[in-house]
Amino acid sequence: MILSELLDSPVHDDEGRRLGFVVDVRLALDGPVLGLLASPRVVGLLVSPHTGTSFLGYERREDQRPAVLGRLLRWRHRGTFLVQWSDVTLVDDGAVRLAPGYRRWSATLRRTTS
């Protein structure tokens, strides 16, 4: 699978309720070393309940984004959460299904409520 195919995919819980759309994929470089870098591993998916558009990378560093853009992105992506890849049970036909009891994490990897 090409990771870009996941972007804008609808995300559903185990009962079929739509939770939002995939807006980003989080990776960790902790696999076997290939050349100069370690192999990437999918850590999780960022899910936005309001939009399928990206944060453009600005969710990671508030101090480096223009203030006006920051306000727009906070409003547009309100309620966005990270779901760990281990909580994804199915990726099929352009949709993602989550496991029962999946956990919501903040976009900066701080735990939030389910």
**pTM for the model:** 0.73
pLDDT in tens, 30-39: 878 888 888 8
Residue range 10-31: mean pLDDT, rounded: 92
Q: Where are the domains of the chain?
A: 3-98
**What pLDDT does residue 80 have?**
86
How is 70-109 classified by DSSP, letter by letter? HHHHHHHTTT-EEEEGGGEEEEETTEEEEPTT---B-TTS
The top-level CATH class assigned to 3-98 is: mainly beta
- Asked if pLDDT for residue 91 goes beyond 80, the answer is yes
| Residue 109 and residue 23 in contact, taking contact as beta carbons nearer than 8 Å | no
Q: How confident is the model at residue 107 (pLDDT cuts 50, 70, 90)?
A: confident
- Asked if pLDDT for residue 53 goes beyond 90, the answer is no
Query: Which H/E stretch holds residue 20?
Result: strand 18-34
- Asked if pLDDT for residue 55 goes beyond 70, the answer is no
